């Protein structure tokens, strides 16, 4: 599977709120940052954090506009639609930057403003 197809599968796992599948795309020593939250290191720590996030929302859906690959860097952007537990919705733009470690993600940075998600 090429990197672009792998990224599409990653977003499918996220949109299915599948933390186990999500974590299968990460290297053991991944560095992960979601918005302005502190950086998290290690696949298992990221998996626990993402599982907690998935449980704090009803659903999530990404509308990907671009996925660009440049050597070991992959950039994606688009719109993400969150449905809160009370079924209200929030739609915001996002951008992700990935530094690949072979076929796995070694660094994962999410640029999104979710300050209104838990209003």
User: What does R_g of the chain's alpha carbons equal in angstroms?
Assistant: 13
Number of residues that this document lists for the chain: 119
Angle (CA) 33 34 35, round 5°: 110
First-to-last alpha carbon distance for the chain, in angstroms, is 40
Q: Decide if 53 is inside a domain.
A: yes
Per the structure, the count of domains in the chain is 1
CATH of residue 89's domain is 3.10.450.50
- Asked if residue 54 belongs to a domain, the reply is yes
DSSP, collapsed to helix, strand or coil, labels residue 71 as coil
Q: Which domain covers residue 94, as residue numbers? A: 3-112
What is the tens place of the pLDDT at every residue in 79-96? 999 999 999 999 999 999
Say yes or no to pLDDT of 1 above 80.
no
pLDDT tens digits along 5-51: 999 999 999 999 999 999 999 999 999 999 999 999 999 999 999 99
């Amino acid at each position: 599977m090429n990197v672009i197809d792998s990224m599409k599968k990653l977003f499918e796992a996220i949109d299915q709120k599948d933390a186990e599948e999500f974590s299968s795309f990460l290297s053991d020593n991944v560095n992960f940052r979601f918005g302005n939250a502190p950086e998290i290191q290690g696949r298992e720590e990221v998996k626990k954090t993402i599982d907690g996030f998935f449980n704090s929302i009803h659903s999530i859906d990404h509308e990907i506009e671009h996925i660009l690959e440049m050597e070991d860097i992959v950039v994606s952007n688009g719109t993400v639609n969150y449905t809160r537990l009370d079924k209200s919705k929030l739609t915001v733009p996002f951008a992700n930057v990935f530094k690949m470690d072979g076929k796995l993600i070694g660094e994962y940075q999410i640029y999104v403003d979710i300050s209104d998600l838990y209003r």
